[in-house]
Chains A and B, each alone.
Chain A
Amino acid sequence: MSGAAQVTKRAKYKISVKDPGTPGALRMNDQKLMFMPDNRNSGAKLVVEFKSIQGHKYTKEGSNKPPLINLANAQGGSYIFEFDSYADLHVCRDFVSKVLEKSKETPNAALEKSAVKLPDEQLSEEEMQLRIKLLQENSELQKLHRQFVGGNILTEAEFWAARKLLDIDPSKKSKQRVGFKSAMISDIRPATDGRTNKVTFSLTPEIILQIFAEKPAVHRAFLNFVPNKMTEMEFWTKYCRAEYLSRTKNYHAVVAEAAEDEELAVFLKEDDILANEVRKKIRRVDPTLDMEADEGDDYTHLPDHGIFRDGTKESNELQSEHYRRTLLQDLNRHAAVVLEGRTIDVEREDSTRALAEALARSKRGNEGADNNANEERLDRTPRVAEIEDLQAPHCLPLAPLSIKDAREYFDSQQANTLKASRDSQASMKCSLSRQEAYGSVRDAISEIKDMGLSDPIVNPEVALKVYSGLTHNISSIKYHLGKNPRETVLDRLPSATKEKLLYHWMSIQELLKHFWSSYPITTPYLYSKVNRLKDALSNIYPQLEEMKESLPADLRHQVSLLVRPMQQALDAAIQHYDADLQKRSAKSGEKPNGYI
């Protein structure tokens, strides 16, 4: 932010516009403004926080009014100051608007702006904006960020390292190149000056690029002639002369001039490069192209086939087509060039020569790609020639794949901790050999075949026991977990506890993520990072205990079940840390040079 942090000016404080005002000094800084009257005893001293200022109004320079600024506060009152000159007024006004703008942002954003940017990190502007946006949108992320980065447990770089923002931002637009205009600007028209009988052609680099793209013979001529045979100016003069001549209907003059001037002839005769290209294209026609005509193809009902080029009629008195260009040829060529797209930027090329060379380079590059495209086309032909009617219908009922939020798995962890303690590793081994096993199964089948199904299938007492067991099970689950099959233990807790639990869970996950990714420790930086994380992890234990204590007794058991897997995860991490530390100190005992 440029500008002074503080402004002091002489001003008169007025209660209303008509008030003559108390002279004094007005001082403004970031937080507040102070007015000190000259006469200490008048009691008009004023200190106002900028927070309470809603808006400001001021008189315009050039009006006959004195320079006034009117600051409106939240309660509806206003403070009016009259300055000695308009210059003073402008300075104060700018300062006030700056301060008001800044205070309009939330304090969080201000904190984040300062927190997110680091002096030693090469951050692009976009990356910073993305981070700020993400922090503002996701309040959980904001809390985590504030806790860890603000508490100096993780650095900015580490926090964002796992969250690559620039790659995933969908709103990032790649810079699109503007294509060629559809208007035929290569069809240059001169400005005629009736008095001096001069015609002036103006050529911009854009027009030159289009001329080169549409007329490869001219392009080639440019590359050959300039700067060897003639200067650029001369080249373009000749070109414009050729254009002018061909537009006049004086065909004989055209032929005459062409005969005289070789170079001019180049511009007038048929473009042989183009002719070659067209012949190649005819051979490469794609049979799989869908030629279905629709309304957009109907140009026959538009005047002049939709294009207005020249009001005059073209006459057909010529025998030789040599120096003749028809409207259709030009039109088709222009359309083909526009659809091909633009490959070079006009602004980047300084001179026309550079432009021409860049265009030549890009054309050569495209040739290789064409051959591949040809082969691809041949492969594609049999595949594409399907008959639609014979295809099977594709509509089947589908459910979208849903990837669940990781927090849904949180409450199932408690079951795992119970199971893990009860899991016995005794698996029953099969003592029979293969043959025996199969044999016994076969015997069982033949037994049933002979005997039939047993009667009764199930012993009635057993059935009753099963049934009541199930009912009891279902009703107890219903009592503990709620009617909704998707409702979980978490929902039965008061929402404040639930929030705290989930918050602890999230922060533990975050810390553990960074913790485990730092192993194996190879640099001193990682070593200090691990130490910081370990301290943070050990601090969580008392927090969990405290939360448990604060709950009423009936919920305490449930919450401790939920908390147990978190504690287990923390224990595992700290155990690993201690083991690693021991290993290191054992190793460093061997090395005398104090390797950490």
Chain B
Amino acid sequence: MASAPSKLYSDDVSLVVVLLDTNPFFWSSSSLSFSQFLTHVLAFLNAILTLNQLNQVVVIATGYNSCDYVYDSSSTGNQSVGNGRMPSLCATLLQNLEEFMNKDEQLGKQEPEGRIACSLLSGSLSMALCYIQRVFRSGLLHPQPRILCLQGSPDGPEQYVAIMNAIFSAQRSMVPIDSCYLGAQNSAFLQQASYITGGVHHKPQQLDGLFQYLLTIFGTDLHSRNFLQLPKPVGVDFRASCFCHKNTIDMGYICSVCLSIYCKHLKKCSTCGSVFGQAQTQSDEPSATNRKRKTTDA
């Protein structure tokens, strides 16, 4: 029956790629504990898989030094591990997550200085987009992909260019990026990501009700979003942050080669290394001409 598969792939089949922030420095100082967070997320993933038989979930861990896939619901190697107290999804995911954290710890040797270090959001976004591209090329019958970003760490200004590139390529492939920000401040990157790609951004007020937020806002598939009202942010913070001090600025200097933003005039761009031309300084030249004029008069 050739038509049966097409009937199964109805409009509301979705592939959700979840980017899980596993930055230990953030989680150790967050009001929501990591175990509570994982509980909410695991329940949510289960819920997505029950919404439709063909739904798929992929989880990518965004670590401090690296990113990696920790769970793929469509892979057949999901053996039931553990003591049967929880579904195999959770067991597999937790197992993989533990291995990932061990590897991540081995990779980095430096202590973060002062502020909370940022996780590698650009890396996991890129991995998600590559996975989705593979799904696109697998043929005409595939679930509708979207990316859900669960992030708590602050924005790393050094990742600005990479994240913007990822956002634009997601826009081009028509993949919405939903984002749920769990940290204290606002994340300009995630707001822009959701705005540009047509996804939903939300910053939950009550973190212990995270599961409810996830299910209400981020659980719906793309087709149903046409008839649902989802929370809309009042305004998007489009300001960029300067690369030298990480302040959000309205006006600044921009390198014409790599478009990095600085708040004060520099001789050389720190991102791409291009040397800027000299602006005329106001003190030297006119005084020289004044002097010249004086001597010719005399």
Q: Do B34 and A441 have beta carbons less than 8 Å apart?
A: yes
Residues of A within 8 A of B216 (CB): 466-467, 470
From A423, A430, A453, A521, contact of B43 by CB (8 A):
A453
Q: Mark A503-529, 1 if CB is under 8 A from B, else 0.
A: 000000000000010001110000000
Contact A401 to B101, CB < 8 A, known contacts A419-B237, A428-B116, A453-B42: no
B230 to chain A, nearest CB (A): 7
Residues of A within 8 A of B28 (CB): 430, 432, 436-437, 440-441
Cα-based distance from A430 to B22 in the complex (angstroms): 15
Cα-based distance from A105 to B85 in the complex (angstroms): 86
Q: Do B29 and A430 have beta carbons less than 8 Å apart?
A: yes
User: For the complex, is A553 an interface residue (Cβ under 8 Å from B)?
Assistant: no
Residues of B within 8 A of A444 (CB): 27, 33-35, 38
Residues of B within 8 A of A441 (CB): 22, 24, 27-28, 34, 101
Residues of A within 8 A of B114 (CB): 429
Residues of A within 8 A of B5 (CB): none
Contact residues of B between 28 and 73, Cβ < 8 Å to A: 28-30, 33-36, 38-40, 42-43
- Interface segment among B8-16, B166-174, B255-263: the answer is B166-174
Q: Do A458 and B209 have beta carbons less than 8 Å apart?
A: yes
- Interface segment among B122-130, B156-164, B267-275, B285-293: the answer is B285-293
Give the dominant DSSP class at A's interface.
Answer: helix
Cα-based distance from A401 to B173 in the complex (angstroms): 10
User: For the complex, is A111 an interface residue (Cβ under 8 Å from B)?
Assistant: no
User: For the complex, is A459 an interface residue (Cβ under 8 Å from B)?
Assistant: yes
Residues of A within 8 A of B282 (CB): 520-522
Select from chain A the residue with minimum beta-carbon distance to B184: A428
Q: Mark A556-596, 1 if CB is under 8 A from B, else 0.
A: 00000000000001001000000000000001000101010
- Interface segment among A258-266, A316-324, A363-371, A391-399: the answer is A391-399
Q: Do B86 and A430 have beta carbons less than 8 Å apart?
A: no
Q: Do A397 and B136 have beta carbons less than 8 Å apart?
A: yes
Q: Mark B102-120, 1 if CB is under 8 A from A, else 0.
A: 1011001011101111000
Residues of A within 8 A of B230 (CB): 474
Contact A522 to B237, CB < 8 A, known contacts A398-B173, A436-B28, A453-B42: no
Q: Do A463 and B29 have beta carbons less than 8 Å apart?
A: no
Cα-based distance from A477 to B235 in the complex (angstroms): 11
Residues of A within 8 A of B82 (CB): 449
Select from chain B the residue with minimum beta-carbon distance to A427: B115
A428 to chain B, nearest CB (A): 5
User: For the complex, is A431 an interface residue (Cβ under 8 Å from B)?
Assistant: yes
Q: Do B206 and A462 have beta carbons less than 8 Å apart?
A: yes
Cα-based distance from A216 to B251 in the complex (angstroms): 65
Q: Do A423 and B98 have beta carbons less than 8 Å apart?
A: no
From A411, A465, A478, contact of B235 by CB (8 A):
A411
Q: Do A465 and B94 have beta carbons less than 8 Å apart?
A: no
Contact residues of A between 418 and 438, Cβ < 8 Å to B: 419, 423, 426-438
User: For the complex, is A413 an interface residue (Cβ under 8 Å from B)?
Assistant: yes
B265 to chain A, nearest CB (A): 10
User: For the complex, is B238 an interface residue (Cβ under 8 Å from A)?
Assistant: yes
User: For the complex, is B2 an interface residue (Cβ under 8 Å from A)?
Assistant: no
Residues of B within 8 A of A470 (CB): 213, 216-217, 231
From B213, B251, B294, contact of A516 by CB (8 A):
B251
Q: Do A463 and B34 have beta carbons less than 8 Å apart?
A: no
Residues of B within 8 A of A591 (CB): 287
User: For the complex, is A454 an interface residue (Cβ under 8 Å from B)?
Assistant: yes
Contact A442 to B90, CB < 8 A, known contacts A401-B168, A434-B111: no
Q: Mark B276-298, 1 if CB is under 8 A from A, else 0.
A: 00011111011100100010000
Contact residues of B between 202 and 241, Cβ < 8 Å to A: 204-206, 208-213, 216-217, 229-239
Q: Mark B141-152, 1 if CB is under 8 A from A, else 0.
A: 000000000000
B186 to chain A, nearest CB (A): 7
Select from chain A the residue with minimum beta-carbon distance to B35: A444
A323 to chain B, nearest CB (A): 65
Q: Do B212 and A477 have beta carbons less than 8 Å apart?
A: no
Select from chain B the residue with minimum beta-carbon distance to A434: B111
Select from chain A the residue with minimum beta-carbon distance to B110: A434
Cα-based distance from A409 to B111 in the complex (angstroms): 39
Select from chain B the residue with minimum beta-carbon distance to A413: B235
User: For the complex, is A412 an interface residue (Cβ under 8 Å from B)?
Assistant: yes
Residues of B within 8 A of A436 (CB): 28
User: For the complex, is A457 an interface residue (Cβ under 8 Å from B)?
Assistant: yes
Cα-based distance from A406 to B34 in the complex (angstroms): 41
User: For the complex, is B185 an interface residue (Cβ under 8 Å from A)?
Assistant: yes
From B98, B281, B283, contact of A446 by CB (8 A):
B98
From A392, A397, A520, contact of B280 by CB (8 A):
A520
Cα-based distance from A221 to B171 in the complex (angstroms): 67
Cα-based distance from A436 to B282 in the complex (angstroms): 55
Residues of A within 8 A of B97 (CB): 445
User: For the complex, is A545 an interface residue (Cβ under 8 Å from B)?
Assistant: no
Q: Do B101 and A438 have beta carbons less than 8 Å apart?
A: yes
Q: Do A595 and B290 have beta carbons less than 8 Å apart?
A: yes
Q: Do A485 and B238 have beta carbons less than 8 Å apart?
A: no
From A427, A445, A457, A593, contact of B185 by CB (8 A):
A427
| 12 cross-chain CB contacts under 8 A | A399-B171, A401-B171, A429-B116, A430-B116, A434-B24, A445-B35, A458-B211, A459-B208, A473-B231, A474-B232, A477-B232, A595-B287
Known: A437-B27, A444-B33, A467-B216. 14 other contacts (CB 8 A): A397-B173, A427-B116, A428-B29, A429-B114, A430-B26, A431-B29, A437-B25, A438-B104, A440-B28, A445-B38, A454-B36, A466-B213, A469-B205, A521-B282
Interface residues of B (CB under 8 A from A): 22, 24-30, 33-36, 38-40, 42-43, 82, 85-86, 90-91, 94, 97-98, 101-102, 104-105, 108, 110-112, 114-117, 136-137, 154, 168, 171-174, 184-186, 204-206, 208-213, 216-217, 229-239, 250-251, 279-283, 285-287, 290, 294
